[in-house]
Structure 1
Amino acid sequence: MCCEEMTVRLHIDWTACDGRGLCTELLPELLDRDPWGYPVPPGREPEVPPGLVPHAERAARLCPTLALRLRR
C-alpha cells in the first residue's frame, strides 16, 4: 500500500491538550474551536483528507503540548 493510499487519522491526547487553539488555526478545515480554545473535531478520531495531511503534520509538529498525533 502506497503512502497516498493510507488512511491518516488525527488523534488528540485530551490529557495533554490545554486549549491553546493553535491547531484550530493551523487546521481550520478539520478542527473547530470551543469557547475555551479546545479543538472540536468532527468525530472521535477524524480521518484527514489526503490534501490536508501536510497541514495536519505541521499542526501536530507545532502543537505546544504535543497533544496531536497522526495515525496511519
Structure 2
Amino acid sequence: MELWLAILIAVLALLAGVALGFFIARKYMMNYLKKNPPINEQMLKMMMMQMGMKPSQKKINQMMKAMQNQLK
C-alpha cells in the first residue's frame, strides 16, 4: 500500500516541477525580451528601406510602440 503512495507523490512532484519550470522560464524570457528587444529602430529603418518605403521618424516610432505594446 505504501508503494502507490510513493508513486503518487513522485508523479505530483514531477507535475509541480514541470509547471514551476514553465512559469520561471516564461518570466525569464519575457524579462529578457523586454531588456533586449529582437528588433531596434535601426533594423526597422533598414527593413523599410529594403521594402521601398521612405521611413520617417514618426512612422518608425509608431511601429516600435506597436511592437512594445504587443510584448505587454
| TM-score, normalization by structure 1 | 0.25
| Structure having the larger proportion of residues in helix | 2
| Structure having the larger proportion of residues in strand | 1
